[in-house]
Chain A
Amino acid sequence: MEKAIDAVFGIALPERLAFLLKSVFFLALTGGILYLLLAATYPPIHDALHDFRHALAVVPCH
């Protein structure tokens, strides 16, 4: 990611900032996937993961 930023903007990111940016990207992506798998109401996803959602004890389902 820092290479891409360096190539496009010509900015060499400090290691800490690069880690932070990558972590934010990672958490956003993981959060999106988790939302899709555990909270989305789209029927095919819900039906496929219904039992799994109930099995986690803290994930609400209908």
Chain B
Amino acid sequence: MSLIKFPLLLFFLVLSPIITTHTEARAKTIDLQIQPGLDKIRPVSKPARLTLTLRDGAGKAIDRTRFQIRLYAPPRGLFFSTDFPQVEGTPLIEIESPAFQGKVEWEYVFPIRGVYRLEVSAVDGVGDRVKQVFPLRIRESRTKLVYLGTFLVGLFLFALMVGRLFTLRGRETHIAVGLLWLAGSVLSIFPAMAQELTTKVPGDKEFLVRLEVSPPTVGQLSEIRWRLSEKETGMPYPTHLTLAITQLEKGKRIFFLKQIPTDGNLAFKFHFVDGSPHRVSSIAELKGRNPIRVEKVVAVTGIEPPKAVSLRALVLFLGVLVLGLITGRMSRRWKKR
């Protein structure tokens, strides 16, 4: 072996274990699957099912994995806010969960449009940590866009009529004011929705279940703690847990964790984005016994949106009215010519 080749061989022999380990670590990837596809998910619509799997280089799911999951809401837009401005840019879920059959699966109703940030950190059985960030773009509901478009067109046509009437002298002015009041009264007939539900009292002869929810406020994470323990010893009892959060006004399940393995404890943080009552329900599945179901209804404290944010939407509507007035006036003048 020549004098030049020997140092090269030594170099590769020293570095090869480092390179191999690095490649193996890089080969492990976190796989995210979303059902239905991202392009079909809309805010406050049907829940999306998100599945996280840690896979090795061959694509095989790695069991005995522990996931740390953080979901952040989209940041505020340049001018217009969404209908939940307090939620924008805030953390929505913080949870640490072991994988069941190599994966963690949950259902979630995305509250607003925009690009969410899902940060996932997975640690496998040998202690290798893989981190990945997934941007998730959720488009606005088509129905809402149709409502907004219809409302804007309505405002425009209304202002156009008023603009035409104002362009004439005399008696037509009071007709315009009458139309204005008519529009106001039509808009105010939209009904309120309310629904009442009862809470079940937990109970089991040998086990004690505790479900605690720190008082939730819109704009902040709330801590949800669940614990299953043996009544006699007080020791936590390992079990599979199914947990659901339902918004009661519309009876919509907004979060669902199915059969995750626990050591008898689960604590995670969740952002209640709607200032209305919610039900948190848990089902502990015990081998050879009936499942234990516990429910808790919590009232979420709503926060009024900042006035500056509300005024931006009004600026849009007034802008459309101004446009309608000008168009109405111009159309009347064109007709005269």
Chain A interface (Cβ within 8 Å of chain B)? Answer: 1-3, 15, 18-19, 22-23, 26-27, 29-31, 33-35, 37-39, 41, 45, 47-62
Contact A34 B147 (CB under 8 A): no
In the complex, B28 has a CB within 8 A of chain A: no
Instruction: Count B interface residues, CB 8 Å.
Output: 58
CB distance from A34 to the nearest CB of B (A): 5
Task: Evaluate whether A60 and B310 lie within 8 angstroms (CB atoms) in the complex, with A23-B166, A33-B184, A50-B192 already known.
Answer: yes
Contact A62 B310 (CB under 8 A): no
A31 to B93, CA, bound (A): 38
A-B complex: 10 closest residue pairs judged by Cβ atoms: A62-B302, A60-B305, A39-B310, A57-B144, A62-B275, A52-B190, A47-B192, A60-B85, A58-B80, A55-B147
Chain B interface (Cβ within 8 Å of chain A)? Answer: 44, 80-86, 113, 140-141, 143-145, 147-148, 151, 159, 162-163, 166-167, 169-170, 173, 176-177, 180, 183-184, 187-188, 190-193, 218, 274-275, 302-307, 309-314, 316-318, 321-322, 325, 329
Besides A29-B180, A62-B305, 16 other A-B contacts (C-beta < 8 A): A3-B170, A22-B176, A23-B163, A29-B177, A30-B159, A30-B180, A33-B183, A34-B317, A35-B310, A57-B82, A57-B145, A58-B148, A58-B316, A60-B309, A62-B302, A62-B303
Contact A57 B83 (CB under 8 A): yes
* A contact face: mostly helix, strand, loop, or mixed: helix
In the bound complex, residues from chain A placing their C-beta under 8 Å from that of B275 are: 62
In the bound complex, residues from chain A placing their C-beta under 8 Å from that of B306 are: 60
Q: Which residue of B lies closest to A2 (CB)?
A: B169
Contact A54 B169 (CB under 8 A): no
A61 to B302, CA, bound (A): 9
Contact B83 A19 (CB under 8 A): no
Contact A1 B304 (CB under 8 A): no
Task: Evaluate whether A56 and B318 lie within 8 angstroms (CB atoms) in the complex, with A15-B169, A37-B187, A62-B302 already known.
Answer: no
In the bound complex, residues from chain B placing their C-beta under 8 Å from that of A37 are: 184, 187-188
A41 to B147, CA, bound (A): 22
Q: Which residue of B lies closest to A29 (CB)?
A: B180
A35 to B37, CA, bound (A): 38
17 contacts between A and B (CB under 8 A): A18-B169, A26-B177, A29-B177, A37-B184, A38-B310, A39-B313, A48-B190, A48-B191, A49-B188, A54-B83, A55-B144, A56-B151, A57-B147, A58-B80, A58-B312, A60-B305, A62-B274
Contact A56 B147 (CB under 8 A): yes
A3 to B173, CA, bound (A): 11
Task: Evaluate whether A19 and B180 lie within 8 angstroms (CB atoms) in the complex, with A31-B314, A55-B144 already known.
Answer: no
In the bound complex, residues from chain A placing their C-beta under 8 Å from that of B183 are: 33
Contact A38 B313 (CB under 8 A): yes
Task: Evaluate whether A39 and B311 lie within 8 angstroms (CB atoms) in the complex, with A55-B144, A62-B302 already known.
Answer: yes
In the bound complex, residues from chain A placing their C-beta under 8 Å from that of B176 are: 22, 26
Contact A57 B309 (CB under 8 A): no
In the bound complex, residues from chain B placing their C-beta under 8 Å from that of A45 are: 188
Contact A60 B81 (CB under 8 A): yes
Quick one: which of B84, B188, B311 contacts A48, CB cutoff 8 A?
B188
